[in-house]
Amino acid sequence: MTDLELIKVALAVKGNSYAPYSQFPVSAALLSESGQVFTGVNIENASYGLTICAERVAIGSAVAAGVVNFAKMAIVVKGGGSPCGACRQVLNEFAPRLPILMADEKGDLVQSATLDQLLPQAFGPQSL
């Protein structure tokens, strides 16, 4: 799957985001090494700390389906921002060098990086 195709998958689910408090929808598409795609959207909660990010929803969907090997992730968010620290840490558990495509709300690629660039000196399974 091309980068643009993966971004389009993430863009297609953006409208499913539940963001009544921030009005800041985020969507993600996670490509497995076997070619399966898992999507996620942010799910806000009135108790703000219980909000779940799109990236972690996508990871959770993949793991629930028995998939733990990933090839790349696309994120669609206003301005093409990068994953938060918690999402970086969760992604690191499965794919420390995961390529991440960061696209804006129109689906235009703004930046890309590997997870290890976004989370240098990460704490992971090798740290235990």
Tokens of 41: 């959207």
Inter-helix orientation angle 85-94/54-64, to 10°: 30
- Which class for 122: exposed (0-12), middle (13-18), buried (19 or more C-beta within 10 A)? middle
- Tally of CB atoms within 10 A around 107: 16
Active site residues: 55
Tokens of 75: 């994120």
Contact criterion met (CB below 8 Å) for 101 and 73: yes
